[in-house]
Structure 1
């Protein structure tokens, strides 16, 4: 997150972005002519939820508000050297489900090596998406949730010998007392 960088980092970036090269204290020059510099920022993340969605007008309004925040955080000479600012929006349920589906393909591939087919119900996939989303961190916790709720359970079953001769595993979910319980059955 660039806004957390020391002022010296900004000065170095200014030289890189302006000249396409960086000279160190010993006079050595490093070329950045063919480099793409990507910086991330959480500037403006507190603005989400103020009538923002995916419609064109709200997207433009959000970008305008973020532009204002960026101008408050960064010097004009720094911002003028940035070619493009891309604003990312929160993931929606459908996008989270797509991420779950992609991550489960990895688990399916691991089981396929053992000739075991994995079938995860839509309800279980939705539950994983819900458990793996955090408003502050987005979908970052999703990998840990899939490991904890699916992969660890399957590994325990393999180690206990419960999957010997099994051609498939189905995973479903039930909600009990507000908590999700994942149910594993052999096919």
Structure 2
């Protein structure tokens, strides 16, 4: 099984302004069918028929919404938290930082793809710099937050018994 993802058709969908929100089921289905037609047309332009004939199925996903991006950001932060825990660093974070990173890392055209780069540049690199400078030690807890619109790394002393 090979799974491929692509944003083929994303710009055409934006140009045709076909995305909207509706609560009526048949309107949502019509909208999905229209988007699927656009994507299939764009695929035929982008790829040769010989390639497309080897693809068993094409699934068109709905655009990610704010809740989806928030959840993806939270999952990526949990992944970072786990990696840092493996080197002895305990990390906590606020909902404000999830929201801030979600806003910074979401792009209408690229979806959630930029999120990992944002987390790397805004958090991982800064944490790594602090560790290398011995500004963060393993007996401390790090709390990731947003203050005055800026991402901050706060050191919290862990109480020892």
TM-score band w.r.t. shorter chain: 0.7 to 0.9
What TM-score does the superposition give when structure 1 sets the normalisation length?
A: 0.63
Higher relative contact order, structure no. (Cα contacts within 8 Å, ≥ 6 residues apart) = 2
Distance, in Å, in 1 between the alignment partners of 2:130 and 2:103 is: 25
What TM-score does the superposition give when structure 2 sets the normalisation length?
A: 0.72
Deviations 1:59-87 (CA, angstroms, capped at 9, x unpaired): 12322344455567778898677543211
Superposition map of 1:117-156 within 5 A: 117-156=90-129
Superposition map of 1:1-187 within 5 A: 40=6, 42-43=8-9, 45-48=11-14, 49-53=17-21, 55-67=28-40, 83-175=56-148, 180-187=149-156
Conserved? CA contact 2:9–2:38, under 8 Å: no
Question: Are the structure 2 counterparts of residues 139 and 152 from structure 1 closer, same or farther at C-alpha, using a change threshold of 3 Å?
Answer: same
Look up the SS of the partner of 2:18 in the other structure: coil
Question: Which structure 1 residue ranges, 5 or more long, are not aligned?
Answer: 1-34
Aligned residues: 149
Q: Whose Rg is larger?
A: 1
How well do the aligned residues superpose, as a CA RMSD in angstroms? Answer: 3.1
Q: Equivalent residue for 1:31?
A: none
Question: Are the structure 2 counterparts of residues 145 and 39 from structure 1 closer, same or farther at C-alpha, using a change threshold of 3 Å?
Answer: closer
Question: Are the structure 2 counterparts of residues 75 and 161 from structure 1 closer, same or farther at C-alpha, using a change threshold of 3 Å?
Answer: closer
Look up the SS of the partner of 1:162 in the other structure: coil
Runs of 4+ in 1 over 3 A off after TM superposition: 35-41, 51-54, 64-83
